[in-house]
Amino acid sequence: MAAASTDWLDGYVARRLNQVTDLGKFLDPLVDKLLILGPLIALVGLNQIPAWTVVLILIRELAIAGWRVQQTEISGANLWGKTKTVVQIIAVALLIAPVTGVWVQIAFITYGLAILLTWVSAAFYLWPLSVSA
């Protein structure tokens, strides 16, 4: 949660001081992916979550990152992408927290929602391509 907070603060300060750069627009999503995928891979190693669920997230993230690299103009994340990242962070926090009872179910439901939003956000991210093509 501390890493996610500093990531958010960095973006907030950059926008507030009007110091948003193309490099920042490119690197920030990559840092977000490491922030999410690192703990998820560790949770797979601990047999806390199935590997295929992380593969679903990884496929989307690699596909969008590869697509973004090929763009001539780097755009920031849209609302769907930001929502996806927030839900992923919450899900990871709940999955690694020492929760019991109903909180375990809430953690897995949140993780399922994160996976769903991962793919929904990809569709909305790429939707303008299919409309303009």
* pLDDT recorded at residue 16: 80
Answer yes or no: are the C-beta atoms of 80 and 124 closer than 8 Å: yes
* pLDDT recorded at residue 118: 94
Residues of the chain with pLDDT under 50: 133
Structural domain of residue 115, as residue ranges? 2-132
| Residue partners of 129: CB distance under 8 A and separation at least 6 | none
Domain count of the fold of the chain:
1
